[in-house]
Amino acid sequence: MELQPADSLRIIQDIIHQRKQKYEENGFFLIFWSVLISLSGIIQFVMLALDYYPRHSWIGWAVLMPLGFLFNFGQKIREGIRNKVEKKSPDPLDWLWLVAGLGAFLGFFLPYSNWKNYEIMILAIYLPFSFVALAIALHLRVFLWIITSLFGLGLTYSVLFFHYGIALPLVSSLLACLLFLIPGIQFYFNYKKQKKCSVS
């Protein structure tokens, strides 16, 4: 039995709708990571600006990122168990986030001799996230996320042309808001609205 073009289109639209629904349900994770990253960037900026143990200003990243990873890992295990029980297949888009996350993790181990080289760290960490966010936003056809991802991509590349100095951690916080917080809030409110409509 051959699929008609209309049937193929309907199947593709169903897959996009299911994935969008998953992101709406998990908008919390985008918000969660944006808050952790923003908080780490703000802590580092304040320590640098106040000259309060500036050589240890990375401490926020060292504490909050592993905690976030452990929490996320625990949630993914629970989600995997639930998917097995409900016989759902894992979303292949999750692999994109995993690759970007591993790239970000490895970015922390790049050799840095002075503060100016931290621009390379921003590129190493945020370029993969910017491209993954843009790819998923285009796939899900979420206009706001496409716009914020493009702004995030532009801001990431801007570190090659502008010297942000001690404000670089704030650039990191702004990138977290563009790539994760704004779309996360949109997904979260869409999910709440859908739940409200299904109840009433």
Task: Please give the Cα distance from 180 to 194 (Å, whole number).
Answer: 21
Cβ count near 35 (within 10 Å): 18
DSSP characters over 55-75: GGTTHHHHHHHHHHHHHHHHH
- For 86-134, write each residue's pLDDT tens digit: 666 666 667 777 778 877 777 766 655 454 567 777 888 888 889 888 9
113: three-class secondary structure by DSSP? coil
User: Is the model's pLDDT at 191 over the cut of 80?
Assistant: no
Is the pLDDT reported for residue 60 higher than 80? Answer: yes
The CA distance from 130 to 156, in Å, is 8
Distance CA 180, CA 175 (A): 8
Q: Which burial class, exposed, middle or buried, applies to 78 when counting CB atoms under 10 A from its CB (0-12, 13-18, 19+)?
A: exposed
Burial of 145 (0-12, 13-18, 19+ CB in 10 A): buried
pTM exceeds cut of 0.85: no
Would you state the torsion angle of the CA atoms of residues 123, 70, 191, 173, taken in this order, to the nearest 10 degrees? Answer: -30
Q: What does the pLDDT read at residue 21?
A: 59
- Tens of pLDDT, residue by residue over 118-176, are 777 788 888 888 988 898 888 888 899 999 999 999 999 998 888 888 898 999 999 99
The CA-atom distances, in angstroms, between 65 and each of 1, 69, 87, 141 are: 51, 6, 31, 29
